[in-house]
Amino acid sequence: MSEEIYLVWSNEHRGWWKPGGYGYSTGLRGAGHFSRDQAIAICKQALPTAHHVGTIAEIPVRLADLTDILRRAGA
């Protein structure tokens, strides 16, 4: 079984983490692909900044789930 791909959404920067974690993309095409472990580590590291954002700063999103949501919405 191949490893699942995750994206990381930044509530703080209102965008997807780009490949390698360098910057943010407002569109999915520019979003980086991360392993689950990488995505969780990114989100854990961002927890201390969550207090000034008012919510969890970074959120891991499984690409397969996002694809399914968009497909069902007809997007």
- For 32-61, how does the pLDDT look when each residue is reduced to its tens digit (9 = 90+)? 999 999 999 999 988 877 676 667 889 999
DSSP E strands: which ranges in 11-73? Answer: 15-17, 24-25, 58-62
Whether residue 30 is predicted with pLDDT greater than 60 in this model: the reply is yes
Phi/psi of residue 15, nearest 5 degrees: -165, 170
CB atoms within 10 A of CB 8: 25
pTM comes to: 0.85
> Percent of the chain, pLDDT > 90?
61
Whether residue 22 is predicted with pLDDT greater than 70 in this model: the reply is yes
CA–CA dist 6, 3 (Å, integer): 10
CB atoms within 10 A of CB 66: 16
CA–CA dist 38, 50 (Å, integer): 19
Whether residue 1 is predicted with pLDDT greater than 50 in this model: the reply is no
Helix or strand run (H / E) with residue 60: strand 58-62
